Structure 1
Amino acid sequence: MIVLAIDTSGSGCSAVVYDSEAGAVLGRSGADLGKGHAERLMEFVDAALAAADRSLGDIERIAVTVGPGSFTGIRVGVAAARGLALALGKPAVGVSTLAVLAEGLRATEPGKAVLVAIDAKRDEVYVQAFDAAGHSLADAEALAVERARERFAGFDGIIGGSGAHLVAADMPANPSELIDVAALAKLGAAADPASAKPRPLYLRGPDAKPQAGFAIARA
């Protein structure tokens, strides 16, 4: 199966073309943008396809990170995945950002449980634990940093993600939000399109709030 995987859930904006039967990345493109995902995403998709010597017509499935992460970025990625799926008549699947990070961490030390923590700002982290086989041990949560430290004190396994140092104080800070898009493609190829719908996974409300003082009353 040829999978097009796209990630816009954090500061990075990336696309990869992946052959699930060969377990190989055919082409990839992306950059750590910070902002401007909507303007650059299709450019990266085209570049990944060109690097793979494939066209959109060769794509059999689209996989996209659905969060948690940047509200704007998640909306951009999910909308693009849905639009491509509709245009191509192919299924689109959504994969949790936390699951993708866990998959990458498991590859570094096979056989160990994994705790993923993403810095959610406002003294909070998005967290989820996975067993050594990659199965989630609990639902993803947004927790206050102190609560997360208490909950996962003495965790026996790998801890990673941009918020790992907030949960485990002895870890060095690693603020990178970049996603292993090849891991996303691998998980997307294995996902069931009937249950893994590309829907945003928001664990809290948006930081931006409407300014009520500028609202126009309806007649």
Structure 2
Amino acid sequence: MIVLAIDTAGTGCFAAVYDSGDDRVLASAGADIGRGHAEQLMAFIDQALAGSGRMLADIDRIAVTIGPGSFTGIRVGVAAARGFALALGVPAVGVSVLAALAASARQVHPAQAVLAAMDAKRDELYCQVFEADGTPRTEARIVELSDAPSLLTGFDGIICGSATHHLTSEPVPGVSQADACDIAVIARLGAMADPALGKPSPLYLRGPDVKSQAGFAVARA
């Protein structure tokens, strides 16, 4: 299976073409751009396709990060994935950033449960616990920093992600304390995902920072 993987959930904008049969990324492209995902994503996809020697017609599945992360970036990636899937007549699947972080941690320390924890700012964390085989033990949720210690009750495993320092003073060596996902891991999880679960949808966990000012709307004539 040839998978086109897309990651726009954070400050990075990445695309990769992955062959699940060989478990190999054929080519990837992207950069940590901060903003401007909508303007640059298609160019990165073109670069990844060119580098892989494949065309859009060769793609069997689209995989995209669905969050948590940047509201705008997630919308851009999910919209692109669903558009490509519709045009090509192939499935599109969503990959949680928390699941991707946990999968990367398990590559370093296999056969251990993982608590993926991202700094959501405003004294809050995005978090989810995964079993050693990658199965979710809990739902993805947002937790206040003051309640963070409760996440460790009964937990015997490793912690990864940018909120690691809020949960332990002794991070596990080699395990990432950042929220940047490995595009190869995203592609691999996308290849294993079940398309029957439906089209990818954003995993926000929190409402948008910008709200419409309905009380200040100007009435139409």
TM-score when scaled to structure 1?
A: 0.94
Cα drift, residue 151 of structure 1: 2.4
- Against the structure 1 CA distance between its residues 84 and 29, is the aligned structure 2 distance closer, same or farther, given a 3 Å change threshold? same
Question: Contact conserved, 2:66 with 2:94, CA < 8 A, in 1?
Answer: yes
- 1:117 and 2:78 correspond: no
Cα drift, residue 129 of structure 1: 0.4
Q: Which amino acid aligns with 1:162?
A: S
Structure 1: runs of 5+ lacking an equivalent: none
Question: Contact conserved, 1:94 with 1:198, CA < 8 A, in 2?
Answer: yes
1:181 to 163, 180, 183: 183
Q: Which amino acid aligns with 1:176?
A: A
CA RMSD, 1 decimal: 1.7
Question: Contact conserved, 2:160 with 2:177, CA < 8 A, in 1?
Answer: no
Q: How many Å separate the matches in 1 of 2:73 and 2:215?
A: 27
Structure 2: runs of 5+ lacking an equivalent: none
Cα drift, residue 211 of structure 1: 2.5
* Partner of residue 34, structure 1: 34
Q: Which amino acid aligns with 1:212?
A: A
TM-score when scaled to structure 2?
A: 0.93
Q: Which amino acid aligns with 1:93?
A: V
Percent of aligned pairs sharing the same letter? 60
Question: Contact conserved, 2:102 with 2:115, CA < 8 A, in 1?
Answer: yes
Cα drift, residue 100 of structure 1: 1.0
Q: Which amino acid aligns with 2:202?
A: P
**What SS does structure 2 have at the residue aligned with 1:15?**
strand
Q: How many Å separate the matches in 2 of 1:58 and 1:210?
A: 42
* Partner of residue 136, structure 1: 136
Q: How many Å separate the matches in 1 of 2:177 and 2:39?
A: 24
* Partner of residue 205, structure 2: 203
Q: How many Å separate the matches in 2 of 1:186 and 1:13?
A: 18
Cα drift, residue 75 of structure 1: 0.3
**What SS does structure 1 have at the residue aligned with 2:100?**
helix
Q: How many Å separate the matches in 1 of 2:163 and 2:72?
A: 20
